Amino acid sequence: MELVSPDLVVERPEGLYCPPGDFYIDPWRPVDRAVITHAHADHARTGHGHYLAAAVGAGVLRARLGAIDLQTLDYGEAIVHHGVRLSLHPAGHVLGSAQVRLEHEGRVWVVSGDYFVSGVGDGNSTCAPFEPVRCHCFVTESTFGLPIYRWRPQREVFADIDAWWRANAAAGRPSLLMGYSFGKAQRILAGVDASIGPIVVHGAVEPLNRAYREAGVALPPTRLVSEVNDKADFRTALVVAPPSVAGSVWSRRFADASDAFASGWMQLRGARRRRGVDRGFVLSDHADWPGLMQAIAATGCERVVVTHGYEAVLVRWLQQQGLQASSFKTEYGDDALDAAVEDSERGTS
């Protein structure tokens, strides 16, 4: 007879599993029932029998996964499955990103997925801001779980990007800004000053722009490279593309461009040099160290389980603060998966 775990979420080879509810959260191997926190490739994979996700992110999820059996919930809407009350709450990461709240027999767990704690007022209007959810146990990411990671206000970063673009435009040089096609690209588009010049996007970015617009997110007008009839327009343009274009045939049409990369990893000295770009902008859609501390404290939890990133560092710190802390071994945080998705989505446009 199999023993039933008292925990609402446990590790299994397929992924994070809810024993009383008999479903998985962001599983990495095919399962019958999957609750998806957001549509990044390391959290949303093909092959599951049934998907449950936030309604506002349905378009993005289908754009990336194709035809799937998808059930959606509005933020805060609850269903009961096998006695487990389940609801989804904003995570502030990308369009449709959600924390999963599970309640069963008086116990409440929250699985955060990936999250970003600053709100719309800090320069991001592309998704609902993070909403703290009270719980007994909080399952948190730790992508940037080191004290060195402390983000400047995003509006300040966008002011730097605008100044870089404006200077390049004045010199007649295209501005090639690289960031992941889902989430980061739209965060960039919504944050820059679109009056500086035309905005041109890579073929992997535009379908996701379309999904964002259909979900009601305001983005400035964008064109594909193939839609630019006057090549002189490139000289004042901001070109938004995924990191996979670096050094590619596609990027060579902007031979005299100033190039840049937007990522939280730009916080580290040497990261820009390793990328081989002119500029690095520290722009992330994950919580920094203070954000992780803020989110964990806001839950009022007594127990924390840490997933992908700097698990050991964060677990040790939390234990020193008197919390019960441990980690789950997961297959999240693999940027190569999103790069592969972008390669499959990218055309020559």
Q: d(Cα 206, Cα 308) in Å, to the nearest integer?
A: 29
**pLDDT(1) > 50:** no
Residue 275: which pLDDT band, with cuts at 50, 70 and 90?
A: confident
Q: What is the pLDDT of residues 296-310, one digit of tens each?
A: 999 999 999 999 999
CB 342 within 8 A of CB 181: yes
Rounded distance between C-alpha atoms, residue 187 and residue 172, angstroms: 25
By percentage, how much of the chain surpasses pLDDT 90? 83
More confident call, 219 vs 251: 219
Give which of 50, 83, 86, 44 is closest to 69, Cα–Cα. 50
CA–CA gap between residue 243 and residue 335 (Å, rounded): 11
pLDDT of res. 328: 97
- Residue type at 262? A
**Which of 4, 197, 184 has its CA nearest to residue 97?**
184
For the stretch 14-73, pLDDT in tens is: 999 999 999 999 999 999 999 999 999 999 999 999 999 999 999 999 999 999 999 999
**Exposure on the CB side of residue 168, measured as CA atoms within 13 A:** 29
Whole-prediction pTM value?
Answer: 0.93
The encoded tokens of residue 189 equal: 């588009």
Q: Average pLDDT of 164-184?
A: 97
The strands making up 175-178's β-sheet, listed across from edge to edge, are 223-224, 199-201, 238-241, 175-178, 258-262, 279-281
| Segment 266-275 mean pLDDT | 75
Closest CA to 56 of 110, 19, 96: 96
Average pLDDT over residues 171-197: 97
Report yes or no: 243 and 338 within 8 Å, Cβ to Cβ.
Answer: no
pLDDT class for 118, splitting at 50, 70, 90? confident
At 153, give phi and psi (nearest 5°): -55, 135
The pLDDT assigned to 333 comes to 86
Q: Where are the beta strands (DSSP E) in the chain?
A: 10-12, 15-18, 23-25, 33-35, 50-54, 70-73, 78-81, 84-90, 98-104, 107-111, 137-142, 175-178, 199-201, 223-224, 238-241, 258-262, 279-281, 303-309, 324-327
Given the structure tokens 């191997």, which residue do they identify? 29
